[in-house]
Amino acid sequence: MSHSSLARGRAACGLARRELQFGEWLREDLRADIVEPPTADPDLAILLTKARMRSVAVVAPPPAQAWFDPVPAEDLLRAYADTVALWQHPADCIAGLLAQPPAG
């Protein structure tokens, strides 16, 4: 994901678009050349906000702050609401907890 793709890729709803997502759950599809098309992704608002808040650089300004504009507050709130709406069943919560890295 590049700054230019995010800058020009804001969808009509205001959300940033992702060009590619990779996760272990997608490995077999990617091996079979099954790739999701670019799409608006509310998770990007959350991820970019976290990166801008916590990125650290040894030299020069933090890359996340230099490359990515702040996510508008309304986009971040919408992203949180969209994410919470996905977790409607106990199985969703368990899967989410299992996907978290171990504490420590």
Between strands 17-18 and 39-40, the pairing is: antiparallel
Element (H, E) at 39: strand 39-40
pLDDT, tens digit only, all 104 positions of the chain: 444 444 444 444 567 888 888 889 899 999 999 999 998 888 888 888 888 888 777 777 777 777 788 888 898 898 888 888 877 766 656 665 566 555 54
Q: Which residues are CB-neighbours of 46 under 8 A, at least 6 positions away? A: 76, 79, 80, 83
pLDDT score for 98? 60
* DSSP characters over 43-67: HHHHHHHHHHHH---SSSS-HHHHH
pTM of the model: 0.51
In this structure, the number of other CB atoms found within 10 A of the CB of residue 10 comes to: 15
pLDDT computed for residue 38 by the predictor: 92
